Amino acid sequence: MKQAMHVLSITARGSGLLDISHQVESWLAEQAIGDGLLTLFCRHTSASLLIQENAAPAARRDLERYFAHIAPESAGYEHDDEGPDDMPAHLRAALTNTQLSVPISGGHLMLGNWQGIYLFEHRRQPSPRQIVLHLIGE
């Protein structure tokens, strides 16, 4: 059994879904592990991770609109230290995932045909983000 770890640094242009599948696959290709499990962990409380539709941009837009609706900005939150998108970003992250696990086979992510791995940035301003990748397998 082998392990590998890496911190993927990403800066999203602003709020929304950012496909990071290519960066994850590129790192995965450099590892000497063919079969195993990849864990991804977002080190932030105002961004999250999703496995989501990667072919139809409308699906991602609808998802972004849905989260804007259920956790709107300027809704009278007590916590607004960093502006009106601060607390809604925390709520959106709490409703999604900060950690994902994806099986690896033959050195590739075992995602479905229409799945991609996304950083879901919940803040409007560009923010540097770190995603920890931990691979274990043979």
Structural domain span for residue 131? 2-137
What is the overall mean pLDDT for the chain? 96
51 within 8 A of 63, measured Cβ to Cβ: no
pLDDT value of residue 11 = 95
pLDDT value of residue 35 = 98
Question: For the chain, which residues score pLDDT lower than 50?
Answer: none
Q: Based on the structure, what is the number of domains in the chain?
A: 1
d(CA 129, CA 138): 29
Q: Using the structure block, give the residue that is written with the tokens 């450099």.
A: 30
What type of residue is 73? E
Residue 35 CB partners (closer than 8 Å, separation 6+): 104, 105, 106, 137, 138
CATH number at residue 59: 2.60.120.460
64 within 8 A of 15, measured Cβ to Cβ: yes
